[in-house]
Amino acid sequence: MSILETLGRLGQTSGFYMLAFNWRQLVMIVIACVLLYLGLVKKFEPLLLVGIAFGMLLTNLPGSEMYHPELWDAYIAGNLRLTDIIHDGGLLDILYIGVKSGLYPSLIFMGVGAMTDFGPLLANPKSLLLGAAAQLGIFAAFLMAIGIFGFAPNVAASIGIIGGADGPTAIWLTSKLAPDYLAPIAIAAYSYMALIPLIQPPVMKLLTTEEERKIKMEQLRPVSKKQKILFPIVVTIFVCLLLPSVAPLLGCLMLGNLFKESGLTDRLSDTAQNALMNIVTIFLSTSVGATAVADRFLSPRTLFIIVLGLIAFEFATVGGLLLGKLMCKLSGGKINPLIGSAGVSAVPMAARVSQTVGAKANPSNFLLMHAMGPNVAGVIGSAVAAGFLLAVFGG
């Protein structure tokens, strides 16, 4: 074999050669670079978006063979076992096992639990109603996905969960109901979460009056340590008995919170919210990004998902605000309706938005702690909604 033949063969096996015959992968590489720009330069949820974008880049480099969607199709169809995927798959296939099994989202929830203070929720239990109302976005987007865009119910449920404004919950549900749509749904969920300060304020101003936004709320009552310790145990028992499908997510959230509140497991709490969470975030983001293979991602359906995701966020905000207004009326003007918009989850970004909009109407208004109640209630609410959708469409 001559040197020219060797070089020619080497050229034919290179990614550049393969890229010349597959414009779709080239487009995906450009999209990955745009997402990297948004994460690194514009700082849109960089901890997640950078990993997702890089996973997308790796999976679309021709010849890299890091992720094989056809193996997962065969696994879902029952023609392959997990051991076959470990044997024949690439690095990202192996990392993806954690997504498919629901391991990563649950572990991330453990970290979220270890970082969450449920004190404001315990001090004002009515916050839970606002967290429930803000789940309107999930079901509004679900309805539109079926009624207008003609998605299958399982896919519509996965699209709807974007309205829960909770990345791990969206990934957990989608990996079980519609794994082919995991990448666009995860990207939409995290992008809109980063854009909450832009998405919510116009709706908040539209639905509330200046007088309502100026309402100052009374200081929250103190919550005892005992109550904070009992809360995760009680929630786990009652909610998981009511909706067993939500146990992995909610159980991990509450376990993380118990680590934090018990005061006896500081090392575990520290690990859950730092080291473990960081490691799992790396695995989760890159393997979710890897599912964005050109042939599946580049379709009009991805655009529909992006549009529906935005609608879901807006409806979630509307749901929380409308109930907030009702509670304001019923309480004789003691509740500022702006805290309702924080029920969309997206902790703590949505609560900060309530604080910012409230402070603009009345600079001496401090709504942050009041908004944290609906905010953490939204996490529980979206997990319950995800459990319901899995129980109904996971069949």
Partner 1 sequence: MSFLDACLYSLTGMLVVFFALVLLMCIIKIMTAIGDRAEKKAAPVPAAPSSGIAAPDTRAAVQSLSMTAPLAPGTAGEVKLYDTDPRTAAMLMAIVADELKLPLNELRFLSIKEIKEDK
User: Given the complex with partner 1, which of 74 and 220 has the nearer CB atom?
Assistant: 220
Cβ 31 to partner 1 shortest distance, Å: 31
Q: How far is the CB of 277 from partner 1 (least distance, A)?
A: 23
* Shorter beta-carbon distance to partner 1: residue 48 or 121: 121
Residue closer to partner 1 by CB (options 18, 223) is 223
Comparing CB distances to partner 1, the nearer of 77 and 241 is 241
Cβ closest to partner 1, residue 23 vs residue 238: 238
CB 308, min distance to partner 1, A: 14
* Closer to partner 1 by Cβ: residue 17 or 149: 149
SS in 3 state form for the chain? CCHHHHHHHHHHHCHHHHHHCCHHHHHHHHHHHHHHHHHHCCCCCHHHHHHHHHHHHHHCCCCCCCCCHHHHHHHHCCCCCHHHHHHHCCHHHHHHHHHHCCHHHHHHHHHHHHHCCCHHHHHCCCHHHHHHHCCHHHHHHHHHHHHCCCCCHHHHHHHHHHHHCCHHHHHHHHHHHCHHHHHHHHHHHHHHHHCHHHHHHHHHHHHCCHHHHHCCCCCCCCCCHHHHHHHHHHHHHHHHHHCHHHHHHHHHHHHHHHHHHHCCCHHHHHHHHCHHHHHHHHHHHHHHHHCCCHHHHCCHHHHHHHHHHHHHHHHHHHHHHHHHHHHHHHCCCCCCHHHHHHHHCCCCHHHHHHHHHHHHHCCCCCCHHHHHHHHHHHHHHHHHHHHHHHHHHCC
Q: How far is the CB of 266 from partner 1 (least distance, A)?
A: 11
Output the smallest distance, CB 292 to partner 1, in A: 27
In the complex with partner 1, the residue whose CB is nearer, 40 or 242, is 242
- What minimum distance in Å lies between the beta carbon of 329 and partner 1? 19
Positions that interact with partner 1 (CB under 8 A): 121-122, 125-126, 128-129, 131-132, 135-136, 138-140, 142-143, 146-147, 153, 156, 219-222, 224-227, 230-231, 234-235, 238-239, 242-243, 377, 380-381, 384-385, 388-389, 392
Min dist CB 59 to partner 1, Å, is 32
